[in-house]
Amino acid sequence: MYDFAPIFPKFQRHYHMSLRRSDIDNIARLARLALSEAEIPVYIDSLSRIIGLVSELDRAATGGVEPMSHPLAGQKQRQRADAVTESDQHELYQRNAPQVLAGLYLVPKVIE
């Protein structure tokens, strides 16, 4: 488990959201992770603390902050023009597809 307190001292004890066992079970199922009984409390605490930190950051006053294109003052991020550089070749690409209907690729059903 990682302790954010040395890096973010003001967030040391402000973890408001607490995940439940069912939340961790669901996350583990979605991520296809097999967690042991000993790991579950560690994940509950760690993920609850991370979510708490994010919720603290979400409450930061950013009303007067101007968006930056680069994190260093005076620097600019190179940006390209938003212009079409290639022609539409979907018909060429779809020639290799096993099945196409109305410009869409047809694939086997995998979800019931």
24 domain residue, yes or no: yes
Domain count across the chain: 1
Q: 87 in a domain, yes or no?
A: no
pLDDT digits (tens, 9 = 90+) for 8-52: 455 444 545 689 999 999 999 999 999 999 999 999 999 999 988
The percentage of the chain sitting over the pLDDT mark of 90, rounded to a whole number, equals 43
Answer whether residue 33 is part of any domain: yes
Domain assignment present for residue 88? The answer is no
pTM of the entire predicted model: 0.46
* Parent domain of 13: 9-58
d(CA 97, CA 106): 8
Instruction: Return all residues near 19 (Cβ < 8 A) that are at least 6 apart.
Output: 44, 47, 48, 51
Residue 111 lies in a domain: no
Q: Are 18 and 44 in contact (CB under 8 A)?
A: yes
Contact status, residue 8 vs residue 54, Cβ threshold 8 Å: no
pLDDT class for 61, splitting at 50, 70, 90? confident
CATH of the domain at 17: 1.10.20.60
pLDDT at 26: 93
Classify 96 as helix, strand or coil: coil
Question: What's the farthest any 2 CA atoms get from each other in the chain?
Answer: 59
